[in-house]
Amino acid sequence: MGRELDRISRGLSTKIAIQIFGGKRRTEAPMQSTRLALDGGIILRQHIPIFIHWKQYKKNDSEITNYIGKIAISQYLFDLFNQSSLCPLHSQILMFMLLTGANSP
C-alpha cells in the first residue's frame, strides 16, 4: 500500500493531507488513515522501540521518558502524555498527531 500511496501523491503533485476533525479520533477517508498509519509507524520506529507486548512499555518507562524528552512540547502536553490512564502506545499516537499538525482526539 505504501508504494501505491506514493504513486498517488506523485500523480496529484501534492502531499496527501491528513485531516482529523474536532471530536473525532480517526480520519474519515481511508487513504488518509492509511497514510497516517504508514508515516506514523516509520516515525515511531526511528525513535522508540516497538515492543511485542504492551506490558513491556510499563517495564521500560525510561524509553518513553527519553523519547518525550527529545522533543520540545508544552508542559500541558507533557502532563497529558504522563497520565497513568493513557496507554503508552496511545500517547505515542497523540504525540505524532500533534507533531504533524493533525487535530488531537
pLDDT (tens digit, 9 = 90+) per residue, 18-65? 666 666 666 676 666 666 666 665 555 666 666 777 787 778 777 777
| Residue of higher predicted confidence among 56 and 10 | 56
**Which range marks the domain in which residue 48 is found?**
2-100
Neighbouring C-beta atoms of residue 85, cutoff 10 Å: 5
pLDDT band for 100, please (50, 70, 90 cuts).
low
Global confidence as pTM: 0.31
Q: CA-based diameter of the chain, in Å?
A: 45
Is 36 among the domain residues? yes
Phi-psi region of 23 (alpha: psi -120 to 50; beta: other; left: phi over 0): left
Element (H, E) at 59: helix 55-59
Contact 57, 86 (CB under 8 A): no
Number of domains in the chain: 1
| Cα 96 to the center of its chain, rounded Å | 3
- Segment 55-82 mean pLDDT: 65
Is 105 among the domain residues? no
